[in-house]
Structures are given as C-alpha cells and as structure tokens.
Structure 1
Amino acid sequence: MTRIKFKNSAAFYDVDGTLIRINIVHAFAYYAARQASLADAARTWGTTAASLPLFWAADKISRKWFNELFYRLYEGMSEDRLVTLSEELFEDVIKPNIYPHAFDLIAESRRAGCRQVIISGALDFILKPLAEYLEVDDLIANRLEFHDGYATGKLEKPFVGGATKSEIMRRFARANDIDLTQSWAYSDSFSDFPMLAVVGRPTAVNPDFRLRAVARSYDWPVLHLD
C-alpha cells in the first residue's frame, strides 16, 4: 500500500500532558532540590508553597498569566547551572515519563512527510534534550531572560502558550512554506484550543475534561498515548 505524503505540512506537538506525563512544576522541583545550598533550597520551597494558591487561580484565568508568575521562581538561578542540569533532568525525570505511544505518534507523522515541531510553554533548555531524543525538526519554547548569567524571572518575547501559540504557528508556517490546512496539531489541554483550531487536522491527546467535550462537539480525533 502506498503511504500518502503530505508535502509542506507540519505536525505541532504540545509537550506537558501530551507527550509526557509531567509538567513545568516537576521540572522546577528538580532544580529547586538541587540549589547550591540547603538554605537556598529551603527558601525556594517556601516561596513555592506560599504561591500555590495564586498559581492555581492564575491557571484558571490565563495560562499566560500563570506562566509569567510561575517563572518568577527561577529568579536568581545561574544560567550555567540550569543548562548543565537539564541533561540530568531529562534522564532522571522527563525520559521515564514519556508516554509509550508518543514515539508511535511522531513516527507515523514523520513517515507521512510532516515536519516535526514541538511548541510548548515550557523552557527551551529543559526541552532541548527531549527534542533531540524524539528527533523532532524544530523546537519552539519559552526562553528565560538572563542578566549577567542569572535568571531575572522574566520571559523573553514572544511568549509561548495559550492563544499566542496559534499566531506563532502562523508565523512559522509563513516562514517555512507550511500549509496549516494540511497540518496536524496535538494537545491535551483546553487552553491550547487556538493551537488546535488553526490547523486542518487537530487531535486531542490525553485530553482534559473541557478539551474532550470540545473534541466531541467538533468531531476531532481523540488519542490516549498511555
């Protein structure tokens, strides 16, 4: 049987909850537990615990607001240390939590001729080892701002997440001659509805309750990668 090839198409993947079981909180916890001193680690954990109600409320209102608040926790961390520990983070935390069928999903769209693109609100240095391991073509992720080698707690523009993903995908498509009507997008979260709606072939993967309902109403495919 001849496999259909989709020229000038791409497959866009969210990461947290879609390709892996964990999220940005687990990554930060790994860094927080490996601060240079016990006092730094305790201070970081204390700040995180005190902020949990605010994070919960922010995530319910806006994924952009949540990420901006959450990444302030990285303020003062060394860029060298963050990048150096990213490989250990991948091996110890991320790699064991990749959904088993994530490989099959990526392999299938690669065989169909799609350009493989990760687009995620997680941080670029955290996702780089995963992108290399999965052999995707492009990585679009949030970037921390650094000053004199230390994180300011702010994100560089453009912010990646929620509604902004769709505009980033449009710009990427124009720059790379990608036809979005012939492209795929995969996500687990209702917050990524704009990302899914901008392509011709959206798919809900391990969907939350709201996305499952939307997928059912629009007759989108639903996949479970575990």
Structure 2
Amino acid sequence: MPEVTSHQSSQNAVLAFFDVDNTLMRGASVYYLAKEAWHRGIVGWRDIARFAWQQFRFISVGENHKHMASARERALAIVGGHSEKTLFELAEQIYERDILPNLWPETVDLAKEHLAKGHEVWLVTATPQFVAEVIAARLGLTGALGTRVHAKDGVLTGELDGHVLHGPEKAAVATELAERLGADLAECWAYSDSSNDIPLLTAVGNRVAVNADAKLTNHAQKLGWQILPLNRASLKEARRRVKRQAKTVRKRGRQ
C-alpha cells in the first residue's frame, strides 16, 4: 500500500496498541495498586487477600472476566475520595517497586521497535488511567488509554467516567483514536495475551497474540495471526516482522 502524504504528521500515523496485564508485564497491575493502598492503610487485610488470590489465579490460569471485573470494581472504590495528585504519586511508587521488575523485556523491546519506526505506541488497558499514564510515560511511549474515574475539584469520586476498558470497549476507543489521528487501521498493530481482546486484535491489520491464553491461541491459529511466545527466538522474528512489514513514519511538525 502506498504511503499517504500530508502536511500534518497525524495523517501519516501508524498506531501500535499494547495490552498491559500479562502482555507488557507479568500479572495484573491493579493488584499492585491495591497492595500499595493496603500499605497506606486505605484498605484492610481481607481486601488485599482477595487481590492476592486473584493475582495468583491470573498468573496461573489466565484472565477470568468475573474475577477481574470484581477486582477492578474494588480498585475503583479504593481511589474514591483521594486526590488525583496523591494517586499519581502512588502510581509512580508502584511503578518503581512493583511494575518495573515485572515488565516483560521482550514486549517492551517490541514497543520500542515500533517507536523506532516512527509509530505511535499506545497502552490500551482496563487498569485505571492514572496508572496506565505513568507506565506509558516511564517507558517513553506515546500515551495510554485506561479506565477513567470521575473527578470533582481534583478529587476522584470512585465512579466510572465511561466504561471499564475491557473487550469491545478497547476496540471502540482504539478505533476512535485512529480516526482522530487519521490512521489507517489496516496498517496499525495490536498486541494482547487475552481472548477478551479479540475485538481489539480484529480491528487492526496486524495482530500479535503475546503469551496467549488457550482460547486466543486457538483463534489466532485458525485465522493465521502471529503467535508470540515470550522467548528469544520468537522475539527476534517479531522484531524482524515489524522492521520488514511495518510502514516507517517520518515525523513532521503538527500545524
């Protein structure tokens, strides 16, 4: 496909969307939010015990929609009544102590490969927006689309602003972003481990099942999507594919 030329860089945009939990990092980021809340006395030991059990299940057997939805609801309740400034500081702390050591280097390298091609790299995750933004900023990515919580006078209410970014909601916000930036979804990329993200993966022209659960693996095999186990050989092949097939975008100043 020939490159689209324009005086605006947004018209040339190619977007790469990355899931976070068990794709970019090991485990569920919302668990670390709950753990830090427990350290600060915001939640009790019974709440953290539930989060710990769900973290164990998530790592061992993959995402369970019912359990993860319950965990996210409690996470939203945790943030209610706290200032946005305080929660960004909390997110910075859990990034350094908990998220950074659990990042998958293979997936992070893929994200950076896209950046090297001039692509915009966006996290698309059900985790709260303020956590997703910190992860994206620390990794030097373009931005993050996460679950938003209403704020009033700088204080979060604990009520959702929109929907939890899960399943079809991820595909919807990714499509909206691509349209706003003038990106052709056929040239965009998406990476995820979960069958719940099949709508997101289906929306783009280049799909990669990373560390995939059984249902996503079967789906990807049937449709001929790339499957990326987290090992050195598969990483090299995935990076070669990005270099070989992905359109290089030359950055120009926005007007």
The verdict on a shared fold, with TM-score over 0.5 as the criterion, is yes
Q: Indicate the SS of the match to 2:39.
A: coil
The aligned amino acid for 2:29 is I
Question: Residues 131 and 51 of structure 1: is their aligned pair in 2 closer, same or farther, counting only changes over 3 Å?
Answer: closer
AA matched with 1:69: E
Q: 1:52 to 1:151 in 2, by over 3 A?
A: farther
Q: TM-score, normalised by structure 1?
A: 0.81
Alignment of 1:30 with 2:45, yes or no, is no
The reply to whether residue 193 of structure 1 matches residue 198 of structure 2 is yes
Query: Is contact 1:68–1:154 with CA below 8 Å preserved after alignment?
Result: no
Letter in 1 for 2:224: D
Shift of 1:193: 0.6
Q: Is the 8 A contact 2:79 2:158 kept in 1?
A: yes
Query: For residue 75 of structure 2, what is the aligned residue in structure 1?
Result: 71
State percent identity of aligned pairs: 28
Question: 1:87 is matched with which residue?
Answer: 92
Conserved 8 A contact 1:12-1:117: yes
- 1:33 deviates by 2.2
2:94 and 2:51 map into 1 onto residues whose CA distance is: 23
Two-structure CA RMSD over aligned residues (Å)? 3.0
Would you say how many aligned residue pairs link Structure 1 and Structure 2? 216
**Residue number in structure 2 paired with 1:46:** 46
C-alpha displacement of 1:187: 0.4
Superposition TM-score, scaled by structure 2 size: 0.73
For 1:134-173, what aligned pairs fall within 5 Å after superposition?
A: 134-147=139-152, 150-173=155-178
Distance in 1 separating the partners of 2:181 and 2:71: 28
Deviates more, 1:77-86 or 1:186-195: 77-86
Structure 2 vs 1, CA of residues 46 and 30 (structure 1 numbering), >3 Å: closer, same or farther? Answer: closer
Question: How far 1:96 moved relative to its partner?
Answer: 0.6
Inter-CA distance 72–10: structure 2 relative to 1 (3 Å threshold): closer
- Shift in CA distance, 126/72, structure 1 to aligned 2, threshold 3 Å: closer
Aligned equivalent of 1:116, options 113, 118, 121? 121
Between 1:21-30 and 1:205-214, the stretch displaced more is 21-30
Contact 2:132 2:145 in 1 (8 A): no
